[in-house]
Chains A and B, each alone.
Chain A
Amino acid sequence: EPEVTQTPSHQVTQMGQEVILRCVPISNHLYFYWYRQILGQKVEFLVSFYNNEISEKSEIFDDQFSVERPDGSNFTLKIRSTKLEDSAMYFCASCCRAQSYEQYFGPGTRLTVT
């Protein structure tokens, strides 16, 4: 069965550095998302992407964040200047085939900012 993949599985970076988290969504899906989960907290929506543009973003998704789908298969999340509070699990998800609503999540990237 097709699945969403994410790389790397764990990223350690220093405060102020840029990071790029990568995702390969399921190939015939139309919507792409990033969510994050700070340790012990809820899964929070960051941004959704449809038709090559952001369709919705949360308050968390400020100017330090950006998303791209550079080549029709990869979907990336860039954090320009990481802060300690960006430490979290970042999940990519994709959806939907025709007449379906299920979102398929990747295994996540654990980002640790030191």
Chain B
Amino acid sequence: SQQGEEDPQALSIQEGENATMNCSYKTSINNLQWYRQNSGRGLVHLILIRSNEREKHSGRLRVTLDTSKKSSSLLITASRAADTASYFCAPDKAAGNKLTFGGGTRVLVKP
């Protein structure tokens, strides 16, 4: 597997605002996944977008994928304090592969 690089490293917003973070990767993928990690806890799978998809929604999450630019974005709309966490992307090639995580984007949602 390959490591995705998240950008920005950190993001601070007010509750109710939208948060956008980006992920870049280097080689072709089958899918790209986004995970969230609350401080000191396990990672939680948020959403998966396949290489033949350009956009996907899940609740307040919107993910885009541009395979020509090898990049993805995650948008959290109407953020809540509970969205405070680190977010990681994981470009993936095949089922069962290990995931390789970068430094993530640390999101702080202020009440």
A residues apposed to B, CB below 8 Å = 4, 30-31, 33, 35, 42-45, 48, 50, 55-56, 89, 91, 93, 95-96, 99-108, 110
Contact = CB atoms under 8 A, between A and B. Distances in A.
Contacts, number: 60
Contact of B96 (A45, A89, A95): A95
Given A35-B99, A107-B42, 12 more contacts: A43-B37, A44-B101, A45-B100, A48-B98, A50-B96, A55-B96, A95-B95, A96-B96, A100-B95, A103-B43, A103-B99, A108-B40
B41 interface: yes
Contact of A102 (B30, B45, B97): B45
Contacts of B88: 43
Contact of A42 (B35, B92, B96, B103): B103
A43 B95 contact: no
A76 B83 CA distance: 32
Nearest to A50: B96
12 contacts: A31-B95, A33-B98, A43-B37, A45-B98, A96-B95, A101-B30, A103-B43, A105-B43, A105-B45, A107-B42, A108-B41, A108-B42
A33 B96 CA distance: 9
